[in-house]
Amino acid sequence: MWGELVLGGFTLLIAPVIFLMGQSNNIWISHTCFTLFKTLYLLLTAICTFQILSRRCYALVFGVNKFVATVLQSVLTATVINTKPLKLTITSQFLIYASYFAAISLLFTVRGVCTVLRMKSPCGGNQAETASDRPEGSRP
């Protein structure tokens, strides 16, 4: 139930780390930010794997998720790194990647809040369905 909110939180932590890495001129700050980014990214991977395994749809979901992630990463990299049409500086490339992680964080957080609200709210329609499924002589 809380998985998407956790993913949103960790992704939200990644965005400022990438932004700081792009803005810093100090190699030690950049290296520390990269180490923190990699740690958080691997944590995200572990959480996503747990989310998928807990839903019992293994191979197809892993394959589709990996394919979509690879396509998105390739398109983003080809767009941002290709310097001829956009003429982006290194700093602006880091800003684009930080914005990407911030947008993904927003998506995870909105989806997580919707999931939590749906789980916490009383399901009025579902209670009527369960009452009609009972045998005639039983009481609620």
Q: pLDDT, tens digit, for every residue of 33-71? A: 999 999 998 888 888 777 777 666 666 666 787 788 889
Which pLDDT score, from 0 to 100, does residue 128 have?
A: 44
Write the burial class of residue 17 (CB in 10 Å: 0-12 exposed, 13-18 middle, 19+ buried): buried
**Whether residue 97 has pLDDT greater than 50:** yes
Alpha-carbon distances, residue 49 vs 11, 59, 123, 128 (angstroms): 15, 11, 29, 36
CA trace torsion 4, 10, 12, 15 (10° rounding):
-140
Which pLDDT score, from 0 to 100, does residue 132 have?
A: 46
- Phi, psi at residue 8, to the nearest 5°? -65, -40
Neighbours of 121 (CB within 10 A): 8
Q: How does DSSP classify residue 136?
A: T
Q: DSSP readout, 28-85?
A: HHHHHHHHHHHHHHHHHHHHHHHHHHHTT--HHHHHHHHHHHHHHHHHHHHHHH-HHH
Which pLDDT score, from 0 to 100, does residue 129 have?
A: 43
More confident: 55 or 92: 92
Q: What is the mean pLDDT of the chain?
A: 79
Which pLDDT score, from 0 to 100, does residue 83 have?
A: 66
Overall pTM surpassing 0.75 (yes/no): no
Answer for the pair 12, 107: CB distance below 8 angstroms, yes or no: no
The residue among 10, 13, 9, 32 whose CA lies nearest residue 21 is 32
